Structure 1
Amino acid sequence: MKPTIAVVLKCYPRLSETFIAQELLELERSGYELCLVSLRHPTDRKTHPINDEIRAPVIYLPEYLHQEPMRVFRSWLNVRALPGYRAAWRHWLTDLRRDFTMNRIRRFGQALVFAAEFPPQARWIYSHFIHTPSSVAGYASEMVGIPWSASAHAKDIWTSPDWELSEKLDAAAWTVTCTAGGSRHLKDLAPHPDKVSLVYHGIDLSRFPRPDRPTGNRDGSDPSNPVQFLSVGRAVAKKGLDTLADALARLPKDLHWRWTHIGGGELAGALKEQVERLGISDRVDLRGSMSQREVLDAYKASDMFVLPCRIAASGDRDGLPNVLVEAQSQGVLCISTPISGIPELIEDGRTGILVEPDDPDALSAAIGRAARDPQLRARYGQAGMERVHSSFDHLGTIGRLIELFEAEGLVARPQREKVAS
């Protein structure tokens, strides 16, 4: 029997989390059986083609306990007889005293259902995000006596209290994270820093092959052939899209350009209002969520990719946005900020351009300079593409994750000849 891993996810499938879908598919291709456990039902109308390739069944836990009270009650009746139930109950009560919220109550209820319906063939629990999914994973792990590990990313690292991160890092067999900055922060909090590993996500370069991309000559001088700017991501504070809109409104009047943004999000309406207020709506195309194939086509049609990430007031921030890696894989010049793991991908003045966050004047100057200089865009774009193809191939990064599973005795027989390490 192949080793089965129960993977706890906040929401599956989700358009903005292709990096997770990619990892799941590669684990399956490497011989692992997966069972996906989602805390929420999907809200995206579309899915990526990669989701159709993932075979794993999905268990949807009750998103709100009052929606399925009998399922939760039956789960409690079944689980309370397990040897680990009392320890999990005491653990949860300790957490609840420090975080007396409905969210904390909900996570324990979801853990009860997860434990009661635990896949009998599963030998490991692996959670994506170290905040709420790992709370469910940790409580359920204690109940069923199955070890767990976690993958930490960005918001979950920077908006969780230190006490909770420290205790989860201690309880988990190991934790991986996707940026050097995140790794340093977690190691500082971990009772056993050697249990934290840096594992980049990378991208599937078979889905993002080197483009047959002629050198563009758009320089903003021709109103019938404007320079094409692109951004992709949810409209949330940490993406800095409001700064981008302000920067574009500051561009010289004789520079002809067009900005396309792909992605929904809670601030999509505010962004549209801002664009109209700035008087640039005739040059802006704000699209909703799109499939990976459509996004790839947008990369190929653009002259530069701009995402001025910031640290939001809540402390939320990106780790290393996969959209930057994807754009660079297509030879597109990327302009971003030195936040979190972004400088691990973009070297300012060589593989892209970095400006300080929340500085629309500096961002406007950088965009304007690159817009008028096709050769600069081509040079930085080529260097960025080489960087991605040499260091961010997901077949290399998945190998490190598989090594961690194998160290726990979860050895699968790969369906292909070899998984790169």
Structure 2
Amino acid sequence: MTRTPAPDPRRVGYIMSAFPTVTETFILFEIIELERTGARVEIFPLRPRGDETSHPEAAPLARRTRYAHVGAPATIAAQLHWLRRAPRAYLGAWWAALRGNLRSRPFLLRALVVVPLAARFAREMQALGVSHVHAHWATHPALAANVVHRLTGLPYSFTAHAHDIYIDRSMLEEKIRDAAFVVTISDFNRSLLGRLYGDWAAAKTSVIRCGVDLTAFTPRPPRPAEGGPFTVSCIAGLREKKGQAHLVEAVARLRDEGLEVRCLLVGDGELRGRLEARIAELGVGDRVELLGHRSRDEVSAVLKGSDAMVLPSVTTDDGDMEGIPVALMEALATEVPVVASSLSGIPELVRDGETGLLVPEGDPAAIAAAIRRIHDDPAGAARMAAAGRERVLAAYDLERNTAELRRLLLWEYDGPALPAAPAA
């Protein structure tokens, strides 16, 4: 009979929706940094790998990522294994997942896939000697981690970012209650969990901010006073909450005011066609370029050639909005002046007039005015950008923040015990 190995205190199972994905560099580089410091991360995505573009740094990890499919023989065998070995835990996991997501049709349907995959992950994690399970996103990945916990007893945690706690909160309180601890990326998010579920939830949540590799994003050389149009970049997926349409309108306003502005949109997504149509409608095709996905090194090069980085985020009709975009951290680390919307946790990074400029969401006129202010006052813009880098150094350093997460994941934490949740 094959024995289950003793858990390795340095082996962590990571669950996420997909891996690798070009829009989630924060997960990729967090894993790389954890492994650089001696942890071993086993990667369990909920979706089989597709053909999505990813960063070249992901290739070595992708080769050993444990992709799974709900209809695969190993997945089916895992259901039989848990039915035979731990029927009450297995059926209890199903009951909890179905009951907890009953009022959300999308989450309920997704649970029908997540639970079987999590049962497979649980068996593989036991075989690997995983000692702790960590999920990125409080939605389906955290459900999978919860199922693994129910089946194996392994402690789990999850990082909550943005939409995963802003829109559909099905089963969120139960996930927090069962977790060993919760991580989130902003004080705004931690306060939100406290308002939703009580002080115990906030006390159980640690704020560990996403971080930037400060060796990859270094201060740019001084920009020439004269030398072509004023270059504005926007680095974000082409999705509604990123608000690029408002930036395109701001560019049209600045053109009408006589300011020569070149705008580079880095990223891709479902709104590309709509943005292309809006660019044509406003007649700014000679000023706005859609560059598509770019690697980290290419993003760094775009930033070094930019006079400003603008992220005109908005809150969507269903309540989705930003957490704190890593692209803003990367821009400030490069000492590029930034313009961002005043929402969610963004003001924790971009302090208006100090580390950047904040504008009301969905306001092209305010965006245009902020860009013009940076253009007209290069010395003031440079001071804000330098202060922005200092802010990143102090609070958004990938190495320091990942070390803090590592202490929790590997149970090296020696602080006060986390508070127990009240009885359900």
Would you call these one fold, judging by a TM-score over 0.5? yes
Please tell me whether the aligned partners of residues 337 and 356 of structure 1 are also in contact (alpha carbons under 8 angstroms): yes
1:177-235 alpha-carbon deviations (Å, 9 max, x no partner): 00111111123334633211111112111111333x124414xxxxx710001001101
Which of 393, 399, 402 is the equivalent residue of 1:398?
402
Query: Is 1:331 the counterpart of 2:339 in the alignment?
Result: no
Please tell me whether the aligned partners of residues 2 and 33 of structure 1 are also in contact (alpha carbons under 8 angstroms): no
Cα distance, 1:81–1:190 mapped onto 2, change above 3 Å = farther
Equivalences for 1:257-296 in 2 at 5 Å? Answer: 257-296=261-300
Partner of 2:139: 131
Question: Match of 1:228, SS?
Answer: strand
- Counterparts of 2:317 and 2:49, CA distance in 1: 27
Partner of 1:17: 24
Partner of 2:5: none
Partner of 2:164: 156
The one-letter amino acid of 2:143's match is S
Partner of 1:210: 219
Aligned length: 399
Partner of 2:418: none
Cα distance, 1:57–1:69 mapped onto 2, change above 3 Å = closer
Query: Is 1:364 the counterpart of 2:373 in the alignment?
Result: no
1:281-301 alpha-carbon deviations (Å, 9 max, x no partner): 111110110100001000000
Partner of 2:349: 345
1:267-326 alpha-carbon deviations (Å, 9 max, x no partner): 111111110111101111101101000010000000000011111112111100000000
1:39-77 alpha-carbon deviations (Å, 9 max, x no partner): 123445543243246588311122xx4xx2544432211
CA displacement at 1:2 relative to structure 2? 5.4
Cα distance, 1:178–1:26 mapped onto 2, change above 3 Å = same
- Counterparts of 2:313 and 2:182, CA distance in 1: 25
Partner of 1:298: 302
Moved more, 83-92 or 7-16: 83-92
The one-letter amino acid of 1:79's match is W
Which of 208, 213, 222 is the equivalent residue of 1:199?
208
TM-score normalised per structure 1: 0.89
- Counterparts of 1:371 and 1:139, CA distance in 2: 53
1:137-195 alpha-carbon deviations (Å, 9 max, x no partner): 1112211221211111111111122x521111001110000011111112333463321
Cα distance, 1:112–1:53 mapped onto 2, change above 3 Å = closer
Query: Is 1:108 the counterpart of 2:119 in the alignment?
Result: no
- Counterparts of 1:285 and 1:367, CA distance in 2: 17
Partner of 2:421: none
Moved more, 236-245 or 33-42: 33-42
Partner of 1:250: 253
Partner of 2:419: none
CA displacement at 1:119 relative to structure 2? 4.6
- Counterparts of 1:172 and 1:330, CA distance in 2: 37
Query: Is 1:37 the counterpart of 2:44 in the alignment?
Result: yes
Cα distance, 1:56–1:406 mapped onto 2, change above 3 Å = farther
1:103-156 alpha-carbon deviations (Å, 9 max, x no partner): 121222222322343352111111011101111111122112212111111111
Partner of 1:373: 377
CA displacement at 1:376 relative to structure 2? 2.8
Partner of 2:420: none
CA displacement at 1:25 relative to structure 2? 1.2
Cα distance, 1:307–1:44 mapped onto 2, change above 3 Å = farther
Cα distance, 1:42–1:377 mapped onto 2, change above 3 Å = farther
- Counterparts of 1:182 and 1:409, CA distance in 2: 22
Please tell me whether the aligned partners of residues 21 and 52 of structure 2 are also in contact (alpha carbons under 8 angstroms): no
Query: Is 1:241 the counterpart of 2:250 in the alignment?
Result: no
* RMSD, aligned α-carbons: 2.1
Moved more, 302-311 or 373-382: 373-382
Moved more, 346-355 or 99-108: 99-108
The one-letter amino acid of 1:309's match is S
Q: Percent identity?
A: 32
Cα distance, 1:376–1:216 mapped onto 2, change above 3 Å = farther
Question: Match of 2:24, SS?
Answer: helix
Please tell me whether the aligned partners of residues 170 and 190 of structure 1 are also in contact (alpha carbons under 8 angstroms): no
Question: Match of 2:259, SS?
Answer: coil
Gaps of 5+ in 2: 1-7, 415-424
Equivalences for 1:114-125 in 2 at 5 Å? Answer: 114-120=121-127, 121-125=129-133
The one-letter amino acid of 1:202's match is G
Partner of 2:311: 307
TM-score normalised per structure 2: 0.88
The one-letter amino acid of 1:177's match is T
The one-letter amino acid of 1:130's match is A
CA displacement at 1:390 relative to structure 2? 2.9
The one-letter amino acid of 1:262's match is V
Please tell me whether the aligned partners of residues 34 and 56 of structure 1 are also in contact (alpha carbons under 8 angstroms): no
Question: Match of 1:377, SS?
Answer: helix
